[in-house]
Amino acid sequence: MLGVKRLVPMASPDYAITVYNPQQVPNLVSIFAMYPDVKFDIMIADPLFSHQFTVVAKNYQNVFLNSYWWYSMYPEIIRSYLKLRLQMLPYSKIGGFFSDAYVVEWVYGKAALAKKELAYVLAEMVHLDYIDRDTAIDIAKTVLNENAAKLYKI
């Protein structure tokens, strides 16, 4: 998870803040280049990383973008990530949902929100004639299920 710092002084151990460190991108790109046969599934917490890592995923065959972490689990942020990713990447490189939640009810709610926002973005793309309905359905199936199955061989 990129853009997160835990153990904030005087806070509960579970609290975290988002931290933007632009050096993370070039540091990680050198690792992606060094290990072209390893698949890297990236999840970002800070929207400031969104465009940078979308460009990285576009340029590196072994880099994939997945889901939305804690402070990014809000409709507008999810939509902005999805719009950018769907415009710049083949949808085979986009994961629809991942969660590290430790309460099952949170997983359900987050998954429902991720599906709803994907449907919203795809409906908007259909309405604006960027894609047709059949393509939207194919994207949804691929992003929500098939990509994870292929990436993790499950």
CATH number at residue 14: 3.20.20.140
146 touches 107 (CB < 8 A)? no
Mean pLDDT (whole number) for 72-101: 94
pLDDT of residue 11: 65
pLDDT at 141 exceeding the cut of 90: yes
pLDDT at 95 exceeding the cut of 90: yes
Measuring CA to CA, which residue among 151, 123, 127 is closest to residue 139? Answer: 123
pLDDT at 1 exceeding the cut of 80: no
Rounded to whole angstroms, the Cα distance separating 152 from 154 reads 6
* Mean residue pLDDT across the chain: 91
pLDDT at 125 exceeding the cut of 90: yes
Give the DSSP H or E segment for 151. helix 147-151
- Domain carrying residue 73: 4-151
User: Residue 53: which pLDDT band, with cuts at 50, 70 and 90?
Assistant: very high
Tokens of 122: 């795809």
Distances in Å between the alpha carbon of 93 and those of 89, 90, 147, 148?
Answer: 7, 6, 7, 10
Specify the number of domains making up the chain: 1
The alpha carbon of 129 is separated from its chain's Cα centroid by a whole number of angstroms, namely 24
Summarize pLDDT for 15-30 with one digit per residue, the tens: 777 778 888 899 999 9
Mean pLDDT (whole number) for 121-126: 99
Measuring CA to CA, which residue among 90, 15, 94, 91 is closest to residue 50? Answer: 94
